[in-house]
Structure 1
């Protein structure tokens, strides 16, 4: 091998290593700036007739605006429905909806029995995010209006972190203002950070990364407001650090990102 070829070979190896390092760094950076959202999406947010009583809930941990990737979910710790008649667990109705080899996601079925607002709530198993060095627990809910019954849409489910809606979270037109209060252990969180993402149906291409997740802060009373500019499902995530740390899969104590999420749907006027 000539000296010129040897120099080129060494340069190629060094360049390849540098490129690999840059790619890995870029991957890690991108995973830290893109928000995780726990989804709990019902087959319908408004049930108006007896023929619509059967609901399906899709449970996915993902990046909704980017159409993925889907993160692997362990079985949820809690899956409840709260109605004017009380609270019940739906864990017995839970089944895997992912195929073999795919990241785990779930479905649950539910039959509307009586009129009244139904609040569906999930406490997922903690998720370890190594690029951020945190465990993630997103307490997530969605409200379904059932048969024009008793309004219960602003009831709290008692999650450690929760968004109390000030705007009824269904029957919303595109362009409506959604307001909520970020609460931790039942008390407002001043200047809490809130992230918002639209559940992309493939019709929108994001021009720059900054458009993926909308980020703002609540006011001194924990109240936030956001105008939803497009029809579809919108996820609101209030993020705080939990009071206590948690062990990661390696057994080390790490911080916990505790989120209170709510999903709402908008429709276009036609």
Structure 2
């Protein structure tokens, strides 16, 4: 006697189309990353004192698509002279029909410069959440190598435990995930490489690496390829926000940091 098979309703045409679309694009990017990328991570006599920064909200490993950025809430730098508000330096640039931002900055003295960005909240209807990714990147100014671990004081933040520049491919990067200044045990961190077009992921799980912090909020990751790497600790917000329709929805707070590696040549 054949085994009992539960009654199943046939798939509707709409469901078949949705399933076909899903199977046709198995590597579709899901992870959102706020980019804050300088044109150089180390300033010296050869490069000069100017750094240019690009801000995009995208899927870096998949090389898109871009998401619309609203006017940033905060953009600044914490450097040897203290904190500077750089909101006036922002320039909106349209790319692929979406708003991105750029800025220029000139380092005034030796020291490390921690650039930070609080973007406008982004409504993600597919996940039903408002997304706010507090992002930072460190640029070394003229070999001082001081201040790279300075905390900005963002609601959620990654404190680097390894100097976040001058890294070779294969180096181990470690960070401490904090919320309201306190470590977050077992926080989940998504990791993506900013694809320059030279690599195609062989399967979906290779697009976004997923790691967890330990009981003290510390995570580690060895970067296997040269380029920019984004680390995003995703945490729940304490209070809901209103989406564009005026409904209160949950908030995803991301603590992001970007670091660059180079091959030993």
- TM beyond 0.5: yes
Q: Which has more radius of gyration?
A: 1
SS at match of 1:117: strand
CA separation of 1:116 and 1:204: change in aligned 2, threshold 3 A:
same
Contact kept? 1:231, 1:267, Cα under 8 Å: yes
SS at match of 2:98: coil
Partner in structure 1 of residue 149 of structure 2: 154
CA separation of 1:25 and 1:200: change in aligned 2, threshold 3 A:
closer
Q: Which runs of 4+ in 1 moved over 6 A?
A: 24-31
CA RMSD of aligned residues (A): 2.1
Partner in structure 1 of residue 94 of structure 2: 98
Unaligned runs of 5+ in 1: 1-13
Q: Alpha-carbon deviation of 1:262? A: 0.2
* Aligned counterparts, 1:232-243, within 5 A: 232-243=227-238
Alignment counterpart, residue 56 of structure 1, candidates 43, 52, 61: 52
Q: Which has the higher helix share?
A: 1
Contact kept? 1:34, 1:212, Cα under 8 Å: no
User: Please, what TM-score do these two structures have when normalized by structure 1?
Assistant: 0.89
The number of residue pairs the alignment matches comes to: 255
Partner in structure 2 of residue 264 of structure 1: 259
CA separation of 1:249 and 1:30: change in aligned 2, threshold 3 A:
farther
Contact kept? 2:112, 2:145, Cα under 8 Å: yes
Task: List per-residue Cα deviations over 1:74-120 (Å, max 9, x = no partner).
Answer: 01000001101111111111111225x61111101111111100000
Q: Alpha-carbon deviation of 1:174? A: 0.3
Q: Alpha-carbon deviation of 1:18? A: 4.6
Residue 129 of structure 2 is aligned to residue 134 of structure 1: yes
* Aligned counterparts, 1:160-179, within 5 A: 160-179=155-174
Question: In structure 1, how many angstroms separate the alpha carbons of the residues matched to 2:176 and 2:194?
Answer: 22
Question: In structure 1, how many angstroms separate the alpha carbons of the residues matched to 2:164 and 2:26?
Answer: 34
Residue 212 of structure 2 is aligned to residue 217 of structure 1: yes
Partner in structure 2 of residue 79 of structure 1: 75
SS at match of 1:170: coil
Partner in structure 1 of residue 6 of structure 2: none
